[in-house]
Structure 1
Amino acid sequence: MDEQDPLVFADTANNRLFGLPEVLDKNVDDIIVNECDTVLTKPPDRYNFGFLIFYVLGTCLLLPWYFFMTANDYWMYKLRNLPNETQLIFLLPNDNNDHSRLQANFTSFLTIAASVPSSLILLLNTYLAKKMSIHFRMISSLMLMLILFTITTILVNLDSDSWQVLFFMITLGTVIFLNIGSSIMQGAVFNLVSFFDSGYMTATVCGQALGGIVAALAQILALWWGASSVHSAFVYFLFADIFILISLVLYTILIKTNIYKYYVQDIPANAWIRRSSSTQYALLGNEQILTVNTYAVLKKIWKLGLSTFYNFLVTMSVYPAVTVLITSVNKEHTAWTDTYFLPVIAYLLFSTCDFLGRVMSNLIKMPVNSSWPAAILSALRTIFIPLMMLCNAKPRYYLPVLINNDQLYAVIMSIFGFTNGIVSNITMTSIPYFVDKHEQETASSLMITFLGIGISTGSLISFGMVNLL
């Protein structure tokens, strides 16, 4: 085939979905040979609309977690000390008068309630992918998240002082089902984006970090307006409702775009061929059916999976259970120390550096087909566990405060977030280098499973970390 000749859409039933033929410069990354012996060319993603939609969907994936996690002032108000506080045997004792037992234990329970059911669903992701379509999982999970977040918004303005423990239980129950919905959506989104070029995977992964920035900015703006913690939380959760609704609408638009039809609807999984400038394109449709052996895929990506697992284990061991307890060493009661220190340093700074790490990792030239750089960096992140434990977290009973400087804590948090972002993005976007195209959906499911187990394990560890302080 002449390298100078442009490619056009062939006049087939599949390609009529694209409308009029478009002439594109030939590029091996834009070529697919399907089982009908037809060369298809990639339609343009006009205005990068599909790319932006995956950014939004990635942002929505962790939105329930980020919004619940960063609404700390609201939860502390709802669970404050009351004269008739009920003593619960499953809560660890708290001798500090600044926090009630519900307050001191809430973040750890929130983390466990979010991560354990999430991990169980992610473990079942491969099974769910076989039983339920991506479209069904996307729509049902987004609807579930929207309904539960609406209930959470309604609860904000209800006086729960007389049923504080019940409110505690309802909140944890809501978190459990929200994260079940979020995990189903996460599996569906990564299964979906595995059909697309690697740039769309990057958009999804970066969008996850962007969710933390959105949540932190929403909280900071609510505090800046000077509203009470209750009124701020109402605006805060209402924003989450609107964002989830927007994500639902954008997904319904995505499935009608030409780029979606090209990657997902028109090309069966068994027609994909691994694309490389050195690859001779062979027709697969009628000659052989490509099957996926899960164990074989696991053997190819297990190092990437372990890197993802340990990266999130380290992160979740101290974030947010320990970091939410870290306060400014400045004893003066100012707006910065009392109001903005926690959301700016613990949430906005971490999420911003996490996002930058994911974006900048695309500029780092990593060795192709090598998983060791990510594995080494993931292992080195272990140092952040003792560093965070030695910061000014309160209440504490055993460990001394050795990092008694707000600026140093901010530097540690920045590197903590940045390295989390680098490892997260490198491991996910490296999948195409280790597996064939028809194996990428299974590989992405396995990577999400590793991620979920890491989050769950780290969350369980965080409960002990808080009580080691």
Structure 2
Amino acid sequence: MDSNAPRDKYNAVWLIFFILGLGSLLPWNFFMTATMYFTNRLKDPPIDGTTIGGDTLSFLESIFNNVITLSSMVPMLIFSSLNSFIHQRIPQKLRISGSLAAILVVFLLTAVLVKVEMAPLTFFCLTITKIICINSFGAILQGSLFGLAGLLPVSYTTPIVSGQGLAGIVAAVSMICALATGTALHDSAFGYFIMACVVILLAILSYLALPSIEFFQYYMESNRPRMSTDQEKKQDKPDVVVSCSEEADKPVVSVVAIFKQMWVVAMSICFVFTITIGVFPAVTVDVHSTIADGGAWDIYFIPVSCFLLFTVMDTIGKTLTGICKWPGADSIWLPILVGLRVVFVPLFMLCNVQPRHYLPVWFGHDSWYIFFIILFSFSSGYLATLCMCFGPKMVAPHERETAGAVMVFFVSLGLALGATFSFAFRAMI
């Protein structure tokens, strides 16, 4: 941290970045938590008061998870890529506050539609459209946030990812509470969406307060490209027209040049998310308990052992990077540790995943599954955050915002690759 920088009084900037991190992922986590609500509304309508097919899934129900994955990852990848280039042309304030406002509108609409009856096909089309919008604006929001954090000391990336981790924990706890209280699907979904709206609104207000903080102002000024003495003199003269050659003297930010400087951490974070999304939740959610024997543990096994435990350990891993940053950005151990995570793919495939057709069960007891989840989620959170902290700091100060956007693109690429491989991993079991 710069010795001349003012103090972050009351950790105000840190807390604002934490809230922004929470606001960037809590809505999406609540959206995913309410999957049962969405699929329930896609059931075929009854004819003459009788339900068709009993427990048989309707066509829209059967394709919902696949379509939701596709409509999540593809827009995120496209807009993360676009954000790497358009962020230099669109003001940061518009990108962040505009994206938050758009997501807020989508969730307000989603909350309203909970109370509106409509045909399954119409509801399906509206839901997929909302998912595309959320992930498109979410990609721009996250790319801009990490780019902005790259202008501050390296420790200010941690509150964003910690906030995102807490978003997963809140969503998982909400799901468990809904199961425990027996809350109706419609009521719990409405509560999720309203809470998401409140958090987004808080994030917008927090972001608008950010420029008034002296600590933040100092780093924005210190990272702004400086003009030469001649340029400053000419700028002071109103009648002097700046020539094209002088415009060319401004620092040019090349995405390709930035990637060449930090390709190791960029590819590392891509691989981390490829492995994580490749098995979670596509494979991990289908693991069945071998000790529950039809009791309460059967109901809570996946919500607790899969979702809650994953989000808690993932958040701990993310938060630990604020204290310890080993291995370093230039250490060979970073890509080695990232590469070793590939072992989790066969480990989870050999757990008690049901139904299965090809592979045997080697790790049938619940304790094996829980042990693997702890290591898997902790390493995902720690290594991904480490890469995200290092990336923007490996380039010149005026390139850091672009570097943050590039890193988010590789996060999105990892998510898309993981979602693609997840179908193959599940089919191999």
TM-score, with structure 2 as normaliser: 0.86
- Does residue 78 (structure 1) correspond to residue 41 (structure 2)? The answer is yes
* 1:163-211 deviations in Å (ceiling 9; x for gaps): 2233233222211111111111111111211111111112112222222
Q: Is the contact between residue 134 and residue 191 of structure 1 (CA under 8 Å) also seen in structure 2?
A: no
Deviation of residue 434 (structure 1)? Answer: 2.5
With over 3 angstroms needed to count, the CA separation of the structure-2 counterparts of 1:192 and 1:285, relative to structure 1, is farther
The equivalences for 1:324-343 within 5 A come to 324-330=285-291, 332-338=293-299, 340-343=300-303
- Higher helix content, 1 or 2: 2
CA distance in 1 between counterparts of 2:230 and 2:316 reads 41
Deviation of residue 47 (structure 1)? Answer: 0.8
With over 3 angstroms needed to count, the CA separation of the structure-2 counterparts of 1:331 and 1:428, relative to structure 1, is closer
SS at match of 1:260: helix
With over 3 angstroms needed to count, the CA separation of the structure-2 counterparts of 1:410 and 1:156, relative to structure 1, is farther
The correspondence for 2:110, drawn from 152, 168, 178, is 152
CA distance in 2 between counterparts of 1:148 and 1:371 reads 43
With over 3 angstroms needed to count, the CA separation of the structure-2 counterparts of 1:51 and 1:283, relative to structure 1, is farther
The correspondence for 1:308, drawn from 249, 255, 269, is 269
The correspondence for 2:81, drawn from 123, 127, 138, is 123
* 1:378-437 deviations in Å (ceiling 9; x for gaps): 211112222223333344444444432222211111111101011111101113552232
Deviation of residue 45 (structure 1)? Answer: 1.6
CA distance in 1 between counterparts of 2:296 and 2:110 reads 28
Deviation of residue 301 (structure 1)? Answer: 0.4
SS at match of 1:385: helix
Count of residue pairs brought into register by the alignment: 409
The equivalences for 1:18-29 within 5 A come to 29=1
CA distance in 1 between counterparts of 2:200 and 2:15 reads 15
SS at match of 1:124: helix
Name the aligned partner's letter for residue 304 of structure 2. V
Query: Deviating runs (4+, > 6 A) in structure 1?
Result: 81-84, 282-288
The correspondence for 2:178, drawn from 222, 226, 231, is 222
Unaligned runs of 5+ in 2: 48-53, 234-248
* 1:111-165 deviations in Å (ceiling 9; x for gaps): 22111100100011122202211100111111110111122222333445xx223
CA distance in 2 between counterparts of 1:103 and 1:212 reads 24
With over 3 angstroms needed to count, the CA separation of the structure-2 counterparts of 1:322 and 1:71, relative to structure 1, is farther
Deviation of residue 302 (structure 1)? Answer: 0.4
Percent sequence identity is 34
* 1:219-274 deviations in Å (ceiling 9; x for gaps): 2233333312221122122211111111111111122222222222x4462149xx
Deviation of residue 365 (structure 1)? Answer: 4.9
Name the aligned partner's letter for residue 358 of structure 1. K
Which residue of structure 2 lines up, in the alignment, with residue 236 of structure 1? 192
Name the aligned partner's letter for residue 168 of structure 1. F
Q: Is the contact between residue 146 and residue 244 of structure 1 (CA under 8 Å) also seen in structure 2?
A: yes
The correspondence for 1:48, drawn from 7, 11, 20, is 11
Q: Is the contact between residue 266 and residue 391 of structure 2 (CA under 8 Å) also seen in structure 1?
A: no
Q: Is the contact between residue 65 and residue 114 of structure 1 (CA under 8 Å) also seen in structure 2?
A: no
The correspondence for 1:166, drawn from 94, 103, 122, is 122
Name the aligned partner's letter for residue 30 of structure 1. D
- Does residue 177 (structure 1) correspond to residue 149 (structure 2)? The answer is no
- Does residue 376 (structure 1) correspond to residue 336 (structure 2)? The answer is yes
With over 3 angstroms needed to count, the CA separation of the structure-2 counterparts of 1:71 and 1:334, relative to structure 1, is farther
Q: Is the contact between residue 279 and residue 348 of structure 2 (CA under 8 Å) also seen in structure 1?
A: yes
The equivalences for 1:14-413 within 5 A come to 29-31=1-3, 41-80=4-43, 102-160=60-118, 163-264=119-220, 266-267=221-222, 269-271=224-226, 290-330=251-291, 332-338=293-299, 340-413=300-373
Which residue of structure 2 lines up, in the alignment, with residue 26 of structure 1? none
Output the aligned Cα RMSD: 2.9
CA distance in 2 between counterparts of 1:142 and 1:334 reads 42
Which residue of structure 2 lines up, in the alignment, with residue 38 of structure 1? none
With over 3 angstroms needed to count, the CA separation of the structure-2 counterparts of 1:74 and 1:116, relative to structure 1, is same
Q: Is the contact between residue 74 and residue 230 of structure 1 (CA under 8 Å) also seen in structure 2?
A: yes
Unaligned runs of 5+ in 1: 1-28, 32-40, 85-95, 273-281
Q: Is the contact between residue 270 and residue 284 of structure 1 (CA under 8 Å) also seen in structure 2?
A: no
Higher relative contact order (CA 8 A, sep 6+): 2
Q: Is the contact between residue 80 and residue 139 of structure 2 (CA under 8 Å) also seen in structure 1?
A: yes
TM-score, with structure 1 as normaliser: 0.79
SS at match of 2:122: helix
